[in-house]
Chains A and B, each alone.
Chain A
Amino acid sequence: MLKKSLHGVRVPHRKNTSEDKPRRINTPAVVNIPMSMHIGAPAKPVVKVGDDVKVGQLIAEADGFVSSPIYSGVSGKVKRIGDMLVSSGGRVPAVTIETDGKQEMLEGIGPPKVSSLQELLEAVRSSGVVGLGGAGFPTAVKLSVKDLSMIDEVIINGAECEPYITSDTRTMIDDADLVWEGIELLQKYLRVKRVIIGIEDNKPRCIANFRSMCKPGCGVEVKALPANYPQGGEKVLIFNTIGRIVPEGKLPIDVGAVVVNCTTLAAVAKYIKTGIPLYEKCVTVDGSAVRNPQNVIAPIGTPLKDIFEFCGGFKSDPQKVLYGGPMMGIAVPDLEQPVLKNTNAILAFDAKDAKLPQETSCIKCGRCIAHCPLNLAPADIETAFRLKDAETLGRLKVNLCMECGCCAYVCPANRNLVQVNKLAKVMLRDYQSAQRAAEEMLKKSRDAKKEGSK
């Protein structure tokens, strides 16, 4: 039996900045570019301290298949190459560039030659584009499908279900042509029959825009989706557009679907059209502590403090600053953190909004269960986690949790359910690997016994 839609929550929209055309910020004095802004191996720097770099110049190359090259968004001099502390708490290598303010473009930038699938994938790899919706998975890897006949549908993700964020909205308004060119590239080289653009219905302008571009027989359809968080989650979007369920441990391609974020696709199309790689980002700046919320375009590596400064500074002391939206965003420890490839918003909240609610006892109301889009039982997962019962965690499928935050959002006892789920996943992984190791040892000793008895 197919359910019409998955659970979720109605979050406030707060899309205050959707009508603002993004403005380019003043060139920052310094940019810090981490080598790890994607899933996979960190990129390898190809510049040395003291080198002059220009806008659009390669500063680090992809290190292996699942990796991505990095380009400079500023002109200036490389000041430092070394580790920096990032929001995940770890240290990653980074390139620091002192800008000269001239913003000179690298000479010789031109569109790459693309006439086959192989050349397309090569171009996508060189563009430095990764999943810009937040995940940061290298786009070239996602599009490297073994067998093209596996793809039934490509879904363009324009849901943008997080509160505040409007950078995808701006892409769909300002760069709709690029998105469309990207779709045509996919149709041509990946031989995609059906393309679906999924957009939440709180963005009627974007929906109308793309509907007007769809000609009969063009193989593209626009699907207006209810504004129900987490509509833009990959599995949720696949279910709500084509009604298919991605099984545990499988990828969307296993059910015939490829999901590409609209801004990601526009960035790919831009590179193939002009040769300009990904080195700057449109970022939504909003939140209760920001004086002038707006969309800005900033070079990757720009410290957040420069962006907030460009937006008129703070109305009140920022107590919490996020990469991304309030449902899944990551809180940063300080304002020196840079804009990353997959940064689509930076939000700053005042003390009132940043106040952590008091956690009280679970009252077993079942709201977390009723709202989980994946039908998990967060309350039961929490109990099993506290009992260190990894076996039950496995049965409860905590590994499927995408950490969308619906459970914690609705919890009347303010339980930190997402945090528990993250920890429970680690507990389950450790348990499973320990079990595999034990089984292997058992097998080895059995084999040894067999040998001995011969």
Chain B
Amino acid sequence: MNNMTVSVSPHIKDKTNTTAIMRDVLIALCPALIASAVIFGARALLVTAVCVAFAVGSEWVFEKTVKKPSTIGDLSAAVTGVLLAFNLPVGIPLWQAAFGSIVAIVVVKQLFGGIGQNFANPAITARIVMLLAFSGTMTAWVTPQIPEVLSNLFGLSAADASSGAADAMSSATPLVLLKNGETESLPAVVNMLLGYRGGCLGETSAVALIIGGVYLLVRRVISWHTPVAFVGTVFLLTLLLGKQPDYQVLSGGLLLGAVFMATDYSTTPSTNWGRVIFGIGCGLVTVLIRVWGNYPEGVSFSILLMNILTPYISRLTRAKPLGGVKA
């Protein structure tokens, strides 16, 4: 009787915990993972497996080395691994994928203090590092062929079904086509929605990504503010600039970034207004890079740039305490 627990209130808690949240994110990534395997073949799964293995493994090794309790159980390293894989072309050499995963976990996440402490999104930063280090393999795109069953189902013409490119291998992504003004070679919108277009392995299937996003919204893991502000800004700006807003929204890593990367907790604002500003900022930078920059794609750079501004956005959008008087 004398060893009763005495602790500070509250004495009950809801059921959420970090692991459950990360598990939800992994579940939300599943539709896109399945789509990537169907579209790009089994190698998509292999690349993802390598990234997850090296992300989780390097977190474990790092934490053992610096004698910190292991956090691989919270599944956040696994999420980073999947997200990084989704940002790579399917043909990426496996050692490069492994290298990227180690960069993401050790350099971007753990050296800054581990989960919750990193200021930049690990998967995005690692992707940018890889883009600079392995620019050849990182831009070797594969344009997948839409299966006949699907093309017949949606009544696509033969030209559409070939995704606009005569050569199915290593062709330009829709963004490159948009940038070069070769709009007549763009794949049909159905292809874009399903994911039969050139690009990174997890970013192409808009339908799968939206299903994942809806799941996260329903489970209240993310709020709608960032994705809506991000995608909405890109749509409106490209509409004003006459740059085919429908293709802009469905191309590149926009949906993957808006749903899964720009909603990362530690690297984005924690207030709703902050999330709106973050999303608008990301959209703005993305369009600037896509339309006037040297790179065809700007989603990664935009998110990284806004990551850096996050502490300031959070501070500026903090709600006024109820009844608070300025000191």
Contact B5 A331 (CB under 8 A): yes
Tell yes or no: A408 within 8 A of B by CB: yes
User: Which residue of B is nearest A12, CB measured?
Assistant: B12
Which residues of the other chain, A, contact B116 by a CB distance below 8 angstroms? 361-364, 413
Which residues of the other chain, B, contact A332 by a CB distance below 8 angstroms? 4, 6
Contact A321 B4 (CB under 8 A): yes
Determine, out of B14-22, B227-235, B290-298, the stretch whose residues face the partner at the interface.
Answer: B14-22
Contact residues of B between 6 and 62, Cβ < 8 Å to A: 6-14, 16-18, 20-21
Contact A369 B270 (CB under 8 A): yes
Contact A249 B13 (CB under 8 A): no
Bound-state Cα–Cα, A363 to B267, Å: 10
Contact A335:B1 (CB < 8 A) given known A410-B14, A410-B16 = yes
Tell yes or no: B321 within 8 A of A by CB: yes
CB distance from A379 to the nearest CB of B (A): 7
Which residues of the other chain, B, contact A408 by a CB distance below 8 angstroms? 9-10, 13
Contact A364 B266 (CB under 8 A): yes
Tell yes or no: B319 within 8 A of A by CB: yes
Q: In which size bucket is the chain A interface?
A: 35 or more
User: Which residue of A is nearest B6, CB measured?
Assistant: A331
Tell yes or no: A125 within 8 A of B by CB: no
CB distance from B112 to the nearest CB of A (A): 12
Contact B71 A246 (CB under 8 A): no
Which residues of the other chain, B, contact A376 by a CB distance below 8 angstroms? 321
Which residues of the other chain, B, contact A369 by a CB distance below 8 angstroms? 270-271, 319
Bound-state Cα–Cα, A309 to B146, Å: 74
Contact A245 B6 (CB under 8 A): no
Contact A326 B12 (CB under 8 A): yes
CB distance from A72 to the nearest CB of B (A): 28
Contact A412 B5 (CB under 8 A): no
Bound-state Cα–Cα, A416 to B11, Å: 11
Contact B4 A409 (CB under 8 A): no
Task: Digitize B283-327: 1 where CB-to-A-CB distance is under 8 Å, 0 elsewhere.
Answer: 000000000000000000000000000000000001111111101
Picked from B4, B7, B321, the residue with its CB within 8 Å of the CB of A400 is B321
CB distance from B209 to the nearest CB of A (A): 21
Determine, out of A45-53, A202-210, A352-360, A444-452, the stretch whose residues face the partner at the interface.
Answer: A352-360
Picked from B8, B12, B13, B14, the residue with its CB within 8 Å of the CB of A422 is B8
Task: Digitize A402-413: 1 where CB-to-B-CB distance is under 8 Å, 0 elsewhere.
Answer: 010100111111
Contact B17 A331 (CB under 8 A): no
Tell yes or no: B265 within 8 A of A by CB: yes
Contact B8 A329 (CB under 8 A): no
Which residues of the other chain, A, contact B320 by a CB distance below 8 angstroms? 375
Which residues of the other chain, A, contact B245 by a CB distance below 8 angstroms? none
Bound-state Cα–Cα, A318 to B17, Å: 26
Which residues of the other chain, A, contact B236 by a CB distance below 8 angstroms? none
Bound-state Cα–Cα, A382 to B4, Å: 28
Contact A366 B270 (CB under 8 A): yes
Picked from B1, B8, B266, the residue with its CB within 8 Å of the CB of A334 is B1
Contact residues of A between 307 and 357, Cβ < 8 Å to B: 317-322, 326-335, 349, 353-354, 356-357
Tell yes or no: A374 within 8 A of B by CB: yes
Task: Digitize A233-257: 1 where CB-to-B-CB distance is under 8 Å, 0 elsewhere.
Answer: 0010001000001111110000000
Tell yes or no: A226 within 8 A of B by CB: no
Tell yes or no: B2 within 8 A of A by CB: yes
Contact A319:B17 (CB < 8 A) given known A328-B10, A400-B323, A403-B9 = no
User: Which residue of B is nearest A318, CB measured?
Assistant: B4
User: Which residue of A is nearest B318, CB measured?
Assistant: A377
CB distance from B261 to the nearest CB of A (A): 15
Contact A329 B265 (CB under 8 A): no
Tell yes or no: B114 within 8 A of A by CB: yes
Picked from A11, A356, A397, the residue with its CB within 8 Å of the CB of B7 is A356
Which residues of the other chain, A, contact B71 by a CB distance below 8 angstroms? 360-361
Which residues of the other chain, B, contact A16 by a CB distance below 8 angstroms? none
Tell yes or no: A418 within 8 A of B by CB: yes
Which residues of the other chain, B, contact A374 by a CB distance below 8 angstroms? 321-323
Contact B324 A397 (CB under 8 A): yes
Bound-state Cα–Cα, A380 to B10, Å: 19
Picked from A334, A357, A410, the residue with its CB within 8 Å of the CB of B4 is A334
15 contacts between A and B (CB under 8 A): A248-B321, A250-B323, A319-B4, A320-B11, A327-B12, A353-B11, A357-B17, A364-B266, A366-B270, A369-B319, A375-B320, A375-B322, A376-B321, A397-B324, A408-B10
